[in-house]
Amino acid sequence: MLKEFKEFAMRGNVVDMAVGIIIGAAFGKIVSSLVNDVIMPPIGLLLGNVDFSQLTITLRSKTSAAEAITIRYGVFINTVLDFIIVGFAMFIVIKQVNLFKKMDKGPVAEPLTKECPKCFTTIPYMAVRCPNCTSEL
């Protein structure tokens, strides 16, 4: 059983997936820092010194017996911006990978044969007259 697990874990796809998840998590932290520390402060300044992480709607005020109940929509705005930036970055990466794959395929080969429109037999692509029905192509 241990041998089977080792074979499973060492397959290329599993290792590639693990590396992708680790890099993705690190990228997510970078984007969160970009949104929270670089993008949102100037936007908040332009909107009148608003700190988005502090924007809340209070449903119940704090009492001696219980904490305040709030809806923290400012944090939600930051998270939505995180998602949009990560989604856009992934779109750009996937678009580039698809472009590279398309370039690797090389030129499309011309077909060697075609079908005669009159008798529907297969004939050489460069033929100008069908050898079976003698129709001009």
- The torsion angle over the Cα atoms of residues 35, 40, 41 and 46, rounded to 10 degrees, is 150
6/64 same-domain check = yes
Residues 6 or more apart in contact with residue 136 via CB below 8 angstroms: 128, 129
pTM: 0.54
pLDDT along the chain (137 residues), means of 10: 77 76 87 83 81 85 89 88 83 85 73 88 88 84
102 and 112 belong to one structural domain: no
Phi, psi of 60 (to 5 degrees): -145, 130
Q: Are residues 120 and 131 in the same domain?
A: yes
**Residues 30 and 83 both lie in one domain:** yes
